[in-house]
Amino acid sequence: MNVLIKTLVWLCGIAIAAGIGLAALVILDSRPLLETDMHITAAERAWVQRWIAVNRPSANRSEGLNSLSLNEREANLLLNALVDKIGQGRGHVHLGQGGARILVSLRLPFDQVQSYLNLDLSVVEGDPLPRIASARIAGLPIPGVLAQTLVEQALGAVERAQILDQVQIQRDRILVSYAWRPYMLEHLGSGLVAAADLPHVLRYQARLETLTADKPRRKPIELADLLAALLAAADADQATDPVTSNRAVILALAAYVNGRVMHDPAEADTGNAKRPRVVLLRGRRDLGQHFMTSAALAVQGNDTLSSLIGWYKEVSDSDGGSGFSFADMTANRAGIRFAQLATQSPASARRLQQVAARGLTADDFMPPIDGLPEGMSRDSFTSRFGDPKTQAYQRMLTAIDQRIDARPLFNL
């Protein structure tokens, strides 16, 4: 169940990042949609901690369908635990027969005037997952079909991964039937890939296993070497559209650098998949993860959302995480540029494959990060840059983009 919680945090993060993007087009509310605190008691806080501890995966958990039942108060306690992991704010869920209303109010990071992003969603039971009936962001209605589009890929991935069997919403209770699987995240990751792309992704994942099989286990692998080898293999595959091949290479590598292995949903898990090796970009594991994750989001069709999620992650890190890092932001933006080059046209895709077949180094696609501020707390960021709309922040992004523009791969 801990995996499910992580999944929900990720999905909420995507929804919030999308909301931030939409909020740029509307007037934010000056007051939160939810004014009062929940007044959570010490006993309820202890219950949340115990619930998460009891429902996290364990070696003794049996496979097959499991059930989860929460009353409205319990659902609200867990919802706010999720909101606390994402940022400053509060959420509330109202359960009704066959549907629910979900309210979330969030303070935007580095907002100096205390404006709020207010989300108001109405969901109804679907088959098997709920669907969005109506949605309002910052008090303005948006079509339910648009809101559904923002999350349908993520929810579709959950459905294809066969994690959730059924969700029932009653007047004062939500009932969830879910399938426990030892490789739940891998199933979810496979579900995020379009059915037409999955065979190609699995083929390049197998190629990765072959490439890394004879390398010393304790020695990290350079991302540039893996990119060059996979793109060279794609160039040799003249029967497949180069854009399709490059997209599959990026998706396979994004999973690999994040320690994940894709599985074919049609095949049974054997447990024989080898654990991915540590992959470095400019000597750092996190830069490779930022680069490939942003590239993967971009080839899935939304480089703007990719930028927003990367920015939001860095903002969140400044509030008690690893700190705001312009080096990570550089990897995010370079990954998006790489994805654009790899998939913008068949000619561009083939040209990249041919260049990569001659060998790649990090200097070809990832600029140096010397002098870029890192590890900044919220207060430190605010004192130096104000907020992302200020000239100081925009100058940093311009300087980063100039570094990326100077990379040889982006001047083919």
Q: Which of 88-97, 213-222, 278-287, 381-390 has the highest mean pLDDT?
A: 278-287
Output the six-digit token pair for 83.
């909101």
Q: Which helix (DSSP H) or strand (DSSP E) does residue 136 occupy?
A: strand 131-137
Look at residues 202, 189, 300, 288 and name the one whose alpha carbon lies nearest to residue 249. Answer: 202
Report yes or no: 222 and 282 within 8 Å, Cβ to Cβ.
no
| Range from 62-76, 231-245, 358-372 carrying the lowest mean pLDDT | 62-76
Q: Helix or strand or coil: residue 95?
A: strand
pLDDT, position 9: 42
Output the six-digit token pair for 325.
């890092």
**Phi-psi domain of 277 (left: phi exceeds 0; alpha: psi -120 through 50; beta: other):** beta
Look at residues 192, 251, 138 and name the one whose alpha carbon lies nearest to residue 14. Answer: 192
Residue 91 gets which letter from DSSP?
A: E
Look at residues 11, 18, 111 and name the one whose alpha carbon lies nearest to residue 308. Answer: 18
CA distances from 97 to 39, 170, 173, 175 (A): 26, 4, 9, 12
**Quick one: how far is CA 91 from the chain centroid?**
21
| Mean local confidence (pLDDT), 338-353 | 95
Handedness of CA 56, 57, 59, 61 (dihedral sign): positive
Report yes or no: 226 and 232 within 8 Å, Cβ to Cβ.
no
pLDDT bin (cut points 50, 70, 90) of residue 275 is: confident
CA distances from 121 to 13, 33, 98, 195, 378 (A): 16, 12, 14, 29, 30
Q: What are phi and psi of 114, to 5 degrees?
A: 55, 50
**Phi-psi domain of 254 (left: phi exceeds 0; alpha: psi -120 through 50; beta: other):** alpha
What percent of the chain is modeled with pLDDT above 90?
Answer: 25
pLDDT, position 24: 40
| Residue whose tokens read 């300087």 | 399
Cα–Cα distance, 15 to 68 (Å, whole number): 24
More confident residue, 362 or 16: 362
In whole numbers, what is the pLDDT of the chain averaged over residues? 75
Q: Which of 137-151, 172-186, 309-323 has the highest mean pLDDT?
A: 172-186
Output the six-digit token pair for 297.
């989001």
pLDDT bin (cut points 50, 70, 90) of residue 269 is: low
The yes-or-no verdict on residue 146 having pLDDT over 70 is: no
Report yes or no: 180 and 62 within 8 Å, Cβ to Cβ.
yes
The yes-or-no verdict on residue 51 having pLDDT over 60 is: yes
Cα–Cα distance, 59 to 266 (Å, whole number): 24
Q: Helix or strand or coil: residue 227?
A: helix
pLDDT, position 224: 97
pLDDT, position 287: 93
The yes-or-no verdict on residue 254 having pLDDT over 70 is: yes
Look at residues 225, 161, 148, 231 and name the one whose alpha carbon lies nearest to residue 192. Answer: 161
- Helix, strand, coil percent values for the chain (each to nearest 5): 50, 15, 30
Q: Which of 87-96, 185-194, 297-306 has the highest mean pLDDT?
A: 87-96
